[in-house]
Structures are given as structure tokens and as C-alpha cells.
Structure 1
Amino acid sequence: MQVRDLWVDLDEFHLREIDLDITSGEYFVILGPTGGGKTVLLETIAGLHRLRQGRILLDGEEITAAPPERRGVGFVYQDYALFPHLNVAQNIGFGLKLRGEERTVIQQRVDEMARLLSIDHLLHRRPGTLSGGEQQRAALARALIVEPRLLLLDEPLSALDPETRESLQRELARLHRELGTTTIHVTHDFEEAVSLGDRIAILNAGRVVQVGSPDDIFRRPESEFVARFVGVRNIFEGDLHAGKDGYKLLVLDGTRIAVVTERNGRVHASIRPEDIIVSREPLRSSARNSFRGRIVEIADRGTLISVTV
């Protein structure tokens, strides 16, 4: 699908100059802070908001002005949005019922989707009696049963406990492998985005600020905002000066660091924790950068230890 120069005005919030190219069968993640416009963008693609300008195309077909029910899009909200007065089977089959499918066809497809999502033992239950993970599986089944050309997932894991979140994350990956449905998944969690996404778009304040593979986003952030948002630490601001032997000198508060870069002038730079060796004694190494420092804090973060020098 393609989004071209999309602008949306909603009261005091605005989407601006959104351009996206998502290949057929791709698992595409939109990552950004709360209030950045992620849900608004999904809802606009689904046809729930009017565009000020721009175009939306799906499988080469212009759907900019198409009503939501004619777009071939499935939508799963963060809060599941299941009908409380219907049981799980009726919720899953709701879209097929709206299409006028025969009851036997609906029953067969509901049974198939329930088995695929491992909720076939819950079909007689009402949503209010289900756990969060079970409700989310029912919502996924309801969206997928109509065989959408595009599946939109709005923070599908954020309301779940850690164990259920991890389980459903694996389930989403499996479903995508088996069904191959083009998917746009919205989240504010970078680890979730990296685990699931073929590519990631960073959305902040209504604008796409970077698009790339998970590795590109983490290892080559294009702005300080992106770097900090995806968890990059040790970010400094300094000036680049000419060096020798193919290196330039990055000057940070008087400290000179040899770097390889084509950039010049004032820059932001990051030193990754995994590239730092801390030692009581000077190391015999080919590394060009070696500095003396004092450890002022050691903090246990559970799965890692934070050392402040």
C-alpha cells in the first residue's frame, strides 16, 4: 500500500506530509511516543478521518474516498472493541454476517479461525468472562475472518501482562508467517517493534521522521529524538575537526575522539555501551580511543548493570 503526502486536521492535532510505501505481505510497524499520531494515522487509513490532502492506495487501487467497509481493511483496537452482548463465536462471525453469508459458511469459517487462534474452546463465552489475551485473540479472529487486504493493529499488546504479551507477540508472528496478510502494527515499545517488524516508521508530532529496518533505526538513527526514543545512550554534542590517517577528531568538552565519518561541523554522537571496555588497568589494544575516568555510580537494572563514569 502507499500513502502519499497525507495531511489530516483534527482539532489541535495534525498529521503532516505522511509518505509511506508498504510492500505486499510486509509486517510494518509504526513506532512513536504517546500522542504522536499513530492511532490517528491508522484510523485515517481505515477511512475514519477526512483528509485535508493526500492519497491512499491499496494494491494499486485508490481508496482515499472509499467508505471504511469497502476498503478491505481489518482493524484491531487496543481495547479489543468486542460486542459485550454477543458470545465469541458471534463476535468472530459478525463481519461475515454483515456481508450476508450463509449461516453454515459463517459457522465453518468461525470454527477455522477459532482453531487458528486457539480459542475454539471459548466460542460460547461472552467477552466479559475472558482474559485480556483471550479477548485480543477473539478480536484478531474477527478481523482476519473477512480476509482483509490490510490488517491494522492499534497497540494490540499494550494492555496485557508481560507473560501474555510475549505469548501473543509470538502468536502475531506465527499468524503473519501462515497468512501473509499485509500488516501495520502501531506501538510505543521499541522491543516489540524490533521483534515483529520487517521495517519501522518513527512517527513524532504528526510527522514521519525516519523509516528503515530495525537495525537501521537502532544503529543509524537520523536524529537525536530517534536515538533517545529507541534507547540509545551516551549521546553527546560536539564539533568535528580534520584529523589524519582517514580519521576526524570529534571534540567533546575538550576531549578528542578519533572517528570515521563524512560529516562536518556540529554533530550529535553516541558511544554504544557494548563498545566500551571498563578496566582498572590500561589495556593493550589497537583501539584509538582510550581515556581515564572515575566510576561514580553502579546501578543494578535487573538484566543489566548501569555504570556511570
Structure 2
Amino acid sequence: MLRIENVSLTLGDFQLKSLFLHIENPEYWVIIGPSGAGKTILLEMIAGIHKPASGRILFEGNDITHDQPKDRNIAMMYQDLMLFPHLTVKENILFSVKIRRAYNVDTEAKISDLISILGIGHLMDRNPDTLSGGEAQRIALARALIQKPRLLLLDEPLSALDSMTRERLRQEIRKIHEHLKIPIIHITHHFEDVYALAEKVAIMQDGTIVQTGKPEDVFAHPCTPYVAQICGTENIFRGEAIPDGTGSILNLGDLQIRISAQHRGPVVAVLRSEDIIISIQPFKSSARHTLQATVTELIPSGPFIRVVLDTGIRMIAIVTRTSSEELSLMPGDEVFVTFKESALHVIPTGEQTSEEIMTGMI
């Protein structure tokens, strides 16, 4: 459906570089990355606001690289909703249709459909300055969808909302995606959006896409320490792998772990906090690693507790408040930490120095 092939673009001091992205089905894609990675510029290039210096963009089999935005049948909704304050809600929704002189007998049916999906019928005669944040988001979404686009681009659509409104709108956006069956590309800084909406995820760094895939695959198997950090992994360990028969020994500072995979040389090992089990007695399983640890700190984090552990190296695990109370965890307690070997992902780093590895993680 959408193929971005080796695209580059320069805007002032910023560059999109040799960028590839292939969306074959009407999937929900979420793009994450730090500020300045080029996420919004990528969406604007897909929409036709910026023209690439090289490469091409194919959409539904057609080369749209140099097409005007109005000819692409792609809608984009910005974080800044840009509703017109002098128009009513209904007039805002119909603005793009009327400016294109595309109002016809089907338009009212489209509006009725959107009103039903988004629950905005009671807002039609209101002015934008009387709307709540969630209501304004729904109106901006309706304005984008009234065009019946074949692709919807969302630039941080939920970032300015409170958590309850954000969750309601996630449900509505999911319903819209299921109803319209078109691809959606959504930029966000909220991992809850990824977990709730994404079928595929793309990670951006310095103007290029460095990894794509299903969220669970990318989070569990980041291709670089940078991706691991962007995906929220707190346990990122530098070390060296030494082949040992059919497996390897990972030397991670004061901790050694044997794994079945063979690696040699400098590596970074990553372990997600939610994959660590804390117990008073050790687990007995050949498929798991069990280490003795000392609890050094308990950090409240909403409904969870982040447990900082000393296993010879610093580790962080996440437990529910109930689990923490049941284990009676206190700083200084001696416990066991257990994780599956498959949860420990090893990234070879070649001959990089420790400083180079850390630079890639920042």
C-alpha cells in the first residue's frame, strides 16, 4: 500500500537519510523516537508537504513522490488541532470538503457516519472555544476523515489529554481503524499508545528508521542499545562474550551468566524489567537463570513498584504493589531474581569501545 524507498530530504540542518518503510496491509503503525528524530517531517513528506531530494514514495501502486498534497488522498491530523475559531464544529468538519468543492449528496451521509462513530452529534452547532480537549480532538479527527482518505497520518494526537480522555480516544481510534480498514501512521511518545493500538512499530533515530516490526518483537529483540533504551528497557549491560563449548559466558562486570547462544567479543545484554521475577526461594528450572540479589531501593511508580537490585550489577525489576506487600520487600532484603534465558537479549557490538556503546544509547 505504502512504500518509501531510499528517500532522503534536507531541511536546513536536518536530514532524513536513506529511509525505507513498507506498509503492505491496512495496519496500524506507530512511530516512536526522541524529539528531533524526524518523525513529523516524515509524515509531512508522506502527505506531500515536503518533496524528497532522492528516492521515491509509492502509494497503492502509484508513484506519488512529486504529487501535490490535494492529489494524494492522504489526511494528516496535527498535535496542534488548528480548528478555526470563527466556524462552528460542523463548518470546521466540512471545511476541507467545501474548499475542494467536493460537497455532494453523499457528504451528509459521511457526517452522520462520523457522528455515530465519534459521538459528536451534540457538538455540531458549538464553537471550538467551548470544547474540551477530548471534544476538540474528535472534531479534528472528523475533519480529517470526512475526506474519506486512503491513509491517515496522526501527529501525537493524544499527547495533550488527561489519561482518562486519552484512553477513551484510543478506543475510538481503534474503532475507526477497524471500521475504515485503512492504514494509519501514528507518532507518539506514550508507550500506552503502542501497546493499545500498534500492529507494527517503527523506531527512528537521527532522520532514519533503524528498526521495524511487531511491538513485542522489537521490544524483546532490539537491534541496538539505542533501540533498547527508546523502547523503555532499563537493564542494559555492557560486557564481553566468551565462547564456551556450545554456548557463551557473558562477563557483565561483576556478574557472569552462561547462555546457550554463541557470541564472541564486546556485547550489550538487555533485559526488560517486567521479565524479572522476584522470589524468596529460588526457582528450579534449566530454562531460567536464577541469581541472588539484595534489594537496594523501592521506587513507587503508579500501580507498580520499581525494585532496584544488586546482583553484582544493578538490575531493576517491576512488581505490583500487591506483590511487593506479599513479599514484604524492604531495602536490604536478600531475594532471588529469575528470568528466562530467552528474555536476555544479546546485541553484538563488534569492536566498539564502552564509550561508543554508551554514546549510541543516549
Calculate the TM-score normalised by the size of structure 2: 0.80
Q: 1:210-263: CA deviations, max 9, x gaps?
A: 00101111101111111111111211011111224x331101124220113243
Please name the residue that 1:251 is paired with. 251
Structure 1 gap segments, 5+ residues each: none
Q: Secondary structure at the match of 1:261?
A: coil
Q: Is 1:176 matched up with 2:156?
A: no
Match of 1:151 in 2: 152
Q: How does 1:83-232 map to 2 (within 5 A)?
A: 83-102=84-103, 104-232=105-233
Which stretch of the first structure deviates more once superposed, 21-30 or 66-75? Answer: 21-30
Supply the distance in 2 between the matched residues of 1:287 and 1:116 (Cα, whole angstroms): 48
* Contact 1:79–1:159 (CA under 8 A) maintained in structure 2: no
Cα deviation, residue 277, structure 1: 3.9
Contact 1:6–1:54 (Cα < 8 Å) also in 2:
yes
Aligned length: 308
Per the TM alignment, residue 185 of structure 1 is displaced from its structure 2 partner at its CA by 0.8
Distance in 2 of aligned mates of 1:283 and 1:184? 43
CA RMSD, 1 decimal: 1.8
Q: 2 CA distance for matches of 1:169 and 1:282?
A: 40
Amino acid at match of 2:92: N
CA distance in 2 between partners of 1:72 and 1:179 (Å): 14
Give how far 1:52 is off: 1.4
> Please, which moves more after superposition, 278-287 or 261-270?
278-287
CA contact (8 A) 1:92 1:145 kept: yes
Change (3 A) 1:19 1:257: same
* Structure 2 match to 1:240: 241
Unaligned 5+ runs, structure 2: 310-362
How far residue 81 of structure 1 moved from its aligned partner, in angstroms, is: 1.4
Shift of 1:102: 4.4
**Distance apart, 1:157 and its partner CA:** 0.5
**What is the deviation of 1:293?**
3.2
* Aligned position for 1:270: 270
Are the equivalent residues in 2 in contact too, given 1:97–1:106 (CA < 8 A)? no
| 1:82 alignment partner AA | L
Secondary structure of the residue aligned to 1:291 is strand
Amino acid at match of 1:133: G
- Between the two proteins, what is the percent identity of the paired residues? 43
State the shift of 1:100 in Å.
Answer: 2.0
Going from structure 1 to structure 2, the CA distance change for 1:102 and 1:190 (only over 3 Å counts) comes to closer
SS at match of 2:291: coil
Higher-strand-fraction structure: 2
- Partner of residue 66, structure 2: 65
Q: Does the aligned pair in 1 maintain the 2:74–2:150 contact within 8 Å?
A: yes
SS of alignment partner, residue 80 of structure 1? coil
Range 109-118 or range 286-295, more displaced: 286-295
